[in-house]
Amino acid sequence: MEFFQRRNSALYLEDVALSKIAERVGTPCYVYSRALIEANWRAYDHAFGGKPHSICYAVKANSNLAVLGVLADLGSWFDIVSVGELERVLMAGGRPERVVFSGVAKTHDELERALQVGIHCFDVESIEELQRLSQIAQRLDKVAAIAVRVNPDVDAKTHPYIATGLKETKFGVGFNSAVETYLTAANLPNIEITGIAAHIGSQITEAAPFIEALECMLTLIQQLATQGIEINHLDIGGGLGIRYQDEAPPNPQSLIEAMVKRVHAKRPDLTIYVEPGRSIVGNAGALLTKIEYLKSNDSKHFAVVDAGLNDILRPALYKAWQNIVPATERKETQPREYDVVGPVCETSDLLGSKRRLAVESGDVLVIMDAGAYGHVMSSNYNSRPRPPEVMVDGGQYHVVRRRETINQLLAAESVLPAN
Ligand code: LLP
């Protein structure tokens, strides 16, 4: 089934015309498809074919409460990286015992709150973090279940800013220090070793780096067993890419099947965790933006739109390519090659270069595949309120986050007191 679908000239998401949302809610505006988020999550679930597993949705990709609620209803687990994400999961109806806490810099307060609510597991990234966690757990009289995040030194062959599995990055514990880290954990009070974890990067479009990281973890599991340390779950992280332009990533089915086969050849009792973010929500969202002006500087044509790099950062930060299409197609207008640019005072505020579009001022454009790392990476740069978010559900839509107001932007600030 196609979730984004053109009916005559109008682009629909499920059964709602995007032009209608733009008109009623205004632009810029994020839209998400409930049905596609659910289908993406279920594709992972089916791929395991009944083998023990947990799909821990990476909250950072899109942390809107409605998105988390939809996934919680499916029985999803959650991968968080801050106490803010933890509170979101709890508020959306997620269960604490289905939460895995990743991140290289968990603070004292974050560890304490996570222990208090009883999360499932901490993916620890250093010996100092283990020691801190053990101290807090002793004080609270709790036991912290842990997995060590290992850095397998694997090249994920993705954009360097989102490659996390190479040894020169800050992430995880080096392969050669992993056993020592586990031995330390085994001797710390109120720490219980349950798993091993890795996450090698994001927007990965080949299976090979995942398999390489997996083999590294399986080797470590064997080494640990000789030291009397037993591992019950293996967390292969997230990172599976989606098709933005012409990438051809493996689908969850083939990737998971390949991994399950390897794991079960060695340890059929292991539970596999996976932490997908982008591949659950990426293609299930889009950003609607209106053309304010068309202008030409000498030979170059610009479509100046009302969404900028503060609303969608990926093109500016990673030179990421995302498809841009009109919400309603025009038959009579001649197509032209445009640079689609935003209002922010930076030349990098270029949402798409050299896009062939048949458009007029006032038309709504749809920036596709914006469901992951879209709204969550938005900011107030240039004092621009962040856009609303809308969840489409069949023939209905719901505003699941209101547009920010200028008053909200100013509310936390003050001028100096008068002398
Ligand atoms: N697990 C951990 C520990 C992670 O750090 C991440 C993402 C994920 C899971 C989910 O990865 P995914 O399945 O979404 O690839 N802002 C960048 C992506 C940063 C990803 C950071 N970590 C972008 O827009 O491309």
Measured from the CA of 314, which atom of ligand 1 is nearest?
A: 24
Whether 58 is in the pocket of ligand 1, judged by its Cβ within 6 Å, is yes
CB-ligand 1 contact for 238 (6 Å cutoff): yes
Residue 159's pLDDT is: 86
373 lines ligand 1 (CB under 6 A): yes
**What's residue 171's pLDDT?**
87
CATH topology for 103-274? Answer: TIM Barrel (3.20.20)
| Ligand 1 mutation target, pool 202, 367, 379, most atoms within 8 A of CB | 202
Task: Flag residues of the chain having pLDDT under 70.
Answer: none
What is the structure's pLDDT at 162?
Answer: 78
Confirm or reject: Cβ of 104 under 6 Å from ligand 1. Answer: no
Torsions phi, psi of 293, nearest 5? -145, 150
Residue nearest atom 23 in ligand 1 by C-alpha distance: 373
CB contact at 8 A, 20 and 365:
no
293 alpha carbon to ligand 1 midpoint, in Å?
A: 35
Out of 1.10.260.40, 2.40.37.10, 1.10.533.10, 2.60.120.640, the CATH code matching 4-32+282-410 is 2.40.37.10
Q: What is the residue with the minimal CA distance to atom 7 of ligand 1?
A: 202
pLDDT at 223: 97
pLDDT of 160:
83
Q: Cα of 201 to ligand 1 centre, how many Å?
A: 7
Q: How far is the CA of 384 from the centre of ligand 1 (A)?
A: 26
User: Token pair of 246, please?
Assistant: 């012409």
Q: Whose CA is nearest to atom 6 of ligand 1?
A: 238
Pairing relation of β-strands 16-17 and 10-13? Answer: antiparallel
According to the 3-state scheme, what is the secondary structure of the chain? CCCEEEECCEEEECCEEHHHHHHHHCCCEEEEEHHHHHHHHHHHHHHCCCCCEEEEEEHHHCCCHHHHHHHHHHCCEEEECCHHHHHHHHHCCCCHHHEEECCCCCCHHHHHHHHHHCCCEEEECCHHHHHHHHHHHHHHCCCEEEEEEEECCCCCCCCHHHECCCCCCCCCEEHHHHHHHHHHHHHCCCEEEEEEECCCECCECCCHHHHHHHHHHHHHHHHHHHCCCCCCEEECCCCECCCCCCCCCCCHHHHHHHHHHHHHHHCCCCEEEECCCHHHHHHHEEEEEEEEEEEEECCEEEEEECCCCCCCCHHHHHCCCCCEEECECCCCCCCEEEEEECCCCCCCCEEEEEEEECCCCCCEEEECCCCCCCHHHCCCHHHCCCCCEEEEECCEEEEEECCCCHHHHHCCCCCCCCC
Q: Is 79 in the pocket of ligand 1 (CB under 6 A)?
A: yes
User: In this predicted structure, what is the pLDDT of residue 158?
Assistant: 85
How many angstroms does the Cα of residue 378 sit away from the middle of ligand 1?
16
Q: How far is the CA of 164 from the centre of ligand 1 (A)?
A: 9
Task: Give the nearest ligand 1 atom to 373 CA.
Answer: 24
Residues 6+ apart with CB under 8 A from 362: 290, 291
Give catalytic residue positions: 345
237 in contact with ligand 1, CB cutoff 6 A = yes
Please write the tens of the pLDDT for every residue from 217-264. Answer: 999 999 999 999 999 999 999 999 999 999 999 999 999 999 999 999
Distance 238 CA to ligand 1 centre (A): 7
CA of 388 to the centre of ligand 1 (A): 23
Q: Are 314 and 320 in contact (CB under 8 A)?
A: yes
Q: What is the pLDDT of residue 326?
A: 98
**CATH 2.40.37.10 domain extents, the chain:** 4-32+282-410
How many residues would you count in the chain?
Answer: 419
Q: Is the CB of 276 under 6 A from ligand 1?
A: yes
- pTM: predicted TM-score of the whole model, two decimal places: 0.97
Query: Residue 163 Cα, ligand 1 centroid: separation in angstroms?
Result: 9
The atom of ligand 1 lying closest to the CA of 102 is 3
Which of 278, 283, 369 is the best mutation target for the ligand 1 pocket, counting ligand atoms within 8 Å of the beta carbon and taking the most? 278
277 lines ligand 1 (CB under 6 A): yes
| Alpha carbon distance 365, 386 (integer Å) | 18
CATH 3.20.20.10 in the chain: give the residue spans: 103-274
Which residues does residue 255 pair with via DSSP β-bridges, in sequence order? none
CA 203 to ligand 1: nearest atom: 15
* pLDDT value of residue 191: 98
